[in-house]
Amino acid sequence: MRAMLIGAPGSGKGTLAKRLVRDFGFQHVSSGDVLRQQMADGTSVGKKAESYVNAGKLVPDEVMVELMTSALKTLETSGKCKWLLDGFPRTESQAKTLDDTFDLGLVMHLDVPDEEIIDRIQHRFVHRESGRVYHTLWNPPKVDGVDDVTGEPLIQRDDDKPEVVKDRLEKYWDLTMPITQHYAAKGVLSKFTGTESDVIYPSMKKFVDGWVIGARCTRE
């Protein structure tokens, strides 16, 4: 009962992942969380990853695969074999290597138009010191442009500026298209298209309901 959720930054993937965990009891396995935990625990693979992070370099495919497969094996050893991958694999090479250890039964591709994502993110502002996030349309501050708690100015992160978001999305699609094609060829990819998480989720939930009925928790 192994699943994965793919979605661009700002697509609402985090919101949908939380609902899937709530409704189906998945173990949420986020690549960022696993990376931080392995480094904090000082595991051998965590130390490998930390050497790249400290040097400001990307963690190589083989190290990321080792990190993630190690975490997944630990889950399954403890009897938790219903999990939801988030943020991994990020490349086709990682996907193929992951296949050597685990067969994914369901890959959900969240397909939100780039224009919608850019529009969402450009309305996001943060309080630098606390990290509090506001959205001028959905969660605006009480006073325009200032933090509710401190009254200090809000900023827009460089990563949230439209031109930067557009560039990030282009890079995301360059990496993601081969991954979706890889899983489509294996017959496990399902795409969910829309602009709002509240609209997308009911069809996603209905689909996963049917998948869970036919899925089995098996060991390698």
Give the catalytic positions in this structure: 13, 90, 124, 157, 168
Q: Which residue has the tokens 């975490």?
A: 71
Contact status, residue 190 vs residue 109, Cβ threshold 8 Å: yes
Distance (Å, rounded) from C-alpha 193 to C-alpha 204? Answer: 10
Name 108's bridge partners.
5, 190
Q: In what order do the strands lie in the sheet with 189-193?
A: 27-30, 83-86, 2-7, 106-111, 189-193
Query: CA 50 from chain center: how many Å?
Result: 21
Contact status, residue 33 vs residue 87, Cβ threshold 8 Å: no
DSSP alpha helix (H) spans, the chain: 13-24, 31-41, 44-54, 61-77, 92-99, 114-121, 162-185, 197-214
